[in-house]
Amino acid sequence: MQVKTGDLDLAYQIPANQAAQITDPAKLYVTSQYGSLYIYMNHKSGALGEVGVRKAISAAIDRRQINEIAFKGQNRVIGGFFPTTMEGYDPTANVNRDLNKAKELLKGTSCESGCTIEMMQRAGYPPYDTISTIVAANLKEIGINVEIKTVDQATANTNEGSGNFEMEVGGLYDVVNSPELIMLTYGLVPAGGINALFSNYRNSELTSLHQQLIETAGEARKPLLDRINKIFAADMPYVPFGDFATLWASRISPRIIVFTAAGSFQVGTKSLAPGQ
């Protein structure tokens, strides 16, 4: 509201349900950062230890609906581990919703005839609350009942660390375009410190590829990243659905101030653009 009236020039991390209130001369922006948004999945928690259930959830969620509602259609949807902004991004990863495929993937799993999965939600953490609601509605169509449990920040952190949760919407990002630094270390390597994004996922080949990537430069990195993408698609340790993105609004031209993929603001002048 203060940006709209001119009392403030800029607002950061705007909730999706308030983004529509941004009107001229203020403008709404969505910036994709060096990271991805995922549905975290704890493999030690019942059905989510089954790859068929995880893949079915990936096939059943409506990524474009999430984008339209949570990001005003301005984010980029993804179906693989890496975001569109980062080296290793897989443009061939499927982002289309396919309920028939999802139901087929559930055959032979503990969710074949229906199941209930609890989704932890951090209180006051937009747009994740909106996304959780959409995911719950999407999965209901394949017989998975999602119960959203809202907890405070401290409890959410404790539950993640102790593995006391089943699913959760969250993200992982870096400030540079180097997937081996943060994204792979914390997202897919168990020794990274957060059990491969709290999933308890283990894959020795992936761990080896991560180390090789650290030691490799230039074009030789591509086949390593391609193999990482194939392993991720086969195991689907958790479900990606979009770039890690931030909604912000400004009354100042983006030629003067802009929010970058690195997660920081750059300021220019009347003669120099941001970053110059």
E strand segments, the chain: 10-12, 27-41, 115-122, 144-151, 167-174, 239-250, 257-259, 265-267
Which three-class secondary structure state does DSSP give residue 256?
coil
Percent of residues in the chain assigned helix, strand, coil, to nearest 5: 35, 20, 40
The first and second tokens of residue 192, run together, are 């990274």
pLDDT of residue 86: 97
Assess whether the previous peptide bond of 127 is cis (omega < 30° from 0): yes
Bridge partners of 35, per DSSP, are 173
Once rounded to an integer, what is the mean pLDDT over residues 39-56?
Answer: 96
pLDDT of residue 124: 84
Give the DSSP H or E segment for 209. helix 204-214
What's this model's pTM, rounded to 2 decimal places?
Answer: 0.93
The mean of the pLDDT values for the chain is 95
pLDDT of residue 21: 84
Q: Which of the pair, 74 or 118, is modelled with greater confidence?
A: 118
Give me the percent of the chain exceeding a pLDDT of 90: 85
- pLDDT tens-digit series, residues 109-123: 999 999 999 999 999
Q: Does position 132 have pLDDT exceeding 80, yes or no?
A: yes
pLDDT of residue 127: 87
pLDDT of residue 95: 98
Q: Does position 141 have pLDDT exceeding 90, yes or no?
A: yes
- pLDDT tens-digit series, residues 84-104: 999 999 999 999 999 999 999
pLDDT band (50, 70, 90) for residue 12:
confident
DSSP string, 76-145: -B-SSSS-TTSTT--TTS-----HHHHHHHTTTSTTTT-EEEEEEEETT-TTHHHHHHHHHHHHHTTTEE
- pLDDT tens-digit series, residues 223-245: 999 999 999 999 999 999 999 99
Bridge partners of 118, per DSSP, are 147
pLDDT of residue 209: 98
